[in-house]
Structures are given as C-alpha cells and as structure tokens.
Amino acid sequence: MKLVIFDMDGTLTDGFAFEENIYVRTFAQAFNLPDVRIEWASYPHTSSSYCLEAVLRERCARTATPEDSRTVQRVMIELMADIQRRTGRCTREIPGAAAALRELRRRGYAVAVASGDWEATARHKFATAGIPFDDLPSAFCDVAHARTEIMQTALARAAAHHGRAAFDRITYVGDAPWDVRACRELGWPLVAIGQDDQATHLHSLGVAQVLPHYLDLDAFLRAVEQATSPRATESNLPS
Ligand SMILES: [Mg+2]
C-alpha cells in the first residue's frame, strides 16, 4: 500500500486566511497586540504554534500557555466565520483537491494530512472548503512545532489506521519552501502545488513535479508516482 500525505494551507485549501490577515487580526483581538509582524519564511519552524510562541516572545517576553493557544484558535475561527457571514468570502479548495483525495482512496492509496495549522482551525477550513477529512489520519501543530515531526506523526497515525508497519512508498504534497526542506530532510518524494512565480521558485528549489492544481487528475496521479525527493540545489533554502 502506498501513502500520500498532504499539507493543507496552499495545498488542499487556498490562502483565504492569509489574504484576510487572519493571524494579524487574531493577535490584535486576542492579546491587544496591533500590527504584529509575521514572517513565516524566517521562522525555524513554520507552524501556527511556533508563530504564536514567536509573537508572544517578541512582543510580550513570555511563552505561550495552553490557554493562549485555545484563545487564538477560537478567535481565528470566529474571525473566519464572521467574514464568511458578512461577505461570503471563505476558505476554498485548491481546484480539484477534494476529487483528488477521493480518487486516490478509490485507487487503494492511503491518504493522510500533515499540516502546520492547529487541528481545530484546520477542521474549520476543511469543512468550509468542502474537503472530506473526518476519517483521514492526520497530525497538526498541536503535536509539535517542527514540520518534519508533524509529518512523521501523520505517517505513524496512517500506519496505525491501516494496521501496517510500513508503506511501499510515501509521497508528500506541499506548496512551500519549508515543505521542500522537510522532504529533503526526510528523503520523501514531493509533489508541489503552485502557479506562476511560485511554481518557478519551487522548480528552482529542486522540485521536479510541480502542478498548478488537481484539475488534470491523471497528471496529478502520474506526479504522485514519479515524484522524487527534492534535489539539493545552490538556492538558499530558509534555514
Ligand atoms: Mg502550505
């Protein structure tokens, strides 16, 4: 049995939360911290839990408590739901994503999710975007800050879910430089989802398989089979 593990933001779901500045607005509302700067690419760990730690350390000189984490997640979901109520704008799937998940499972692949978001906010995004998620093994930043650790937890949960010690092949589907770095560290094949400049950038980081979306399902299934672990390149990956 082969396993395909998906990132969420930018891979299965679009950038609604980022375009609407949900993180910045959440920190302003939850902690009375206006104009928080969030520089995902500069963080050693690209996850929402690490982002919360980084912001509270920089702006409040303290670490995040479990209560902070719960508050941030609740405010984020409220903000996203409020924008949807008022404007109709909301998280959408990357075109063809839900159909791609269904087709992989129909063909006998194991499918899992490994995302740097929290599980609660991820559930809200999946539900809003109409992506079938409930019975998928998954891991989120609730288990670790580090993406590689989240990915390995998703792998372990997928193995337990399917009653297997290992899979014949593991492919990750992601969209960002930190996904490239994590796949290189783990030696996992990567299919990247990206368009235009982002696709060019992903190619330059050594990703052979880059697709704009899932609408050409055959092309996606071929990419899953042909993907390799990203090659080392001279490009400066985020450290
Ligand atoms: Mg992503």
Tens of pLDDT, residue by residue over 61-104, are: 999 999 999 999 999 999 999 999 999 999 999 999 999 999 99
Same structural domain, 122 and 24: no
Calculate mean pLDDT across residues 171-177: 97
Same structural domain, 53 and 69: yes
Same structural domain, 42 and 121: no
Q: Domain boundary at 87, 119, 144, which?
A: 87
pTM equals 0.94
Q: Domain boundary at 61, 87, 113, which?
A: 87
Q: Domain boundary at 34, 55, 87, which?
A: 87
Residue 218 counted as domain residue: yes
Q: What is the pLDDT of residue 217?
A: 97
Q: For residue 236, what pLDDT band results from cuts at 50, 70 and 90?
A: very low
Q: What is the pLDDT of residue 64?
A: 94
Residue 42 counted as domain residue: yes
Same structural domain, 63 and 29: yes
Same structural domain, 73 and 180: no
Same structural domain, 134 and 152: yes
C-alpha of residue 215 to centroid of ligand 1, in Å: 19
Same structural domain, 76 and 127: no
pLDDT at 237 > cutoff 60: no
Residue 153 domain boundaries: 2-15+92-226
pLDDT at 238 > cutoff 60: no
Q: What is the pLDDT of residue 39?
A: 85
pLDDT at 143 > cutoff 50: yes
Over the chain, what HEC string results? CEEEEECCECCCECCHHHHCCHHHHHHHHHHCCCCCCCCHHHCCCCCHHHHHHHHHHHHHCCCCCHHHHHHHHHHHHHHHHHHHHHHCCCCCECCCHHHHHHHHHHCCCEEEEECCCCHHHHHHHHHHHCCCCCCCCEECCCCCCCHHHHHHHHHHHHHHHHCCCCCCEEEEEECCHHHHHHHHHHCCCEEEECCHHHHHHHHHCCCCEEECCCCCHHHHHHHHHHCCCCCCCCCCCCC
Residues with CB under 5 A from ligand 1 (ion): 7, 9-10, 175-176
Q: Which range, of 52-61, 86-95, 186-195, 226-235, averages the lowest pLDDT?
A: 226-235
C-alpha of residue 8 to centroid of ligand 1, in Å: 6
The total number of structural domains in the chain stands at: 2
* Residue-wise pLDDT tens digits, 14-62: 999 988 899 999 999 999 999 898 888 888 888 999 999 999 999 999 9
C-alpha of residue 174 to centroid of ligand 1, in Å: 6
Same structural domain, 107 and 207: yes
C-alpha of residue 57 to centroid of ligand 1, in Å: 24
C-alpha of residue 47 to centroid of ligand 1, in Å: 10
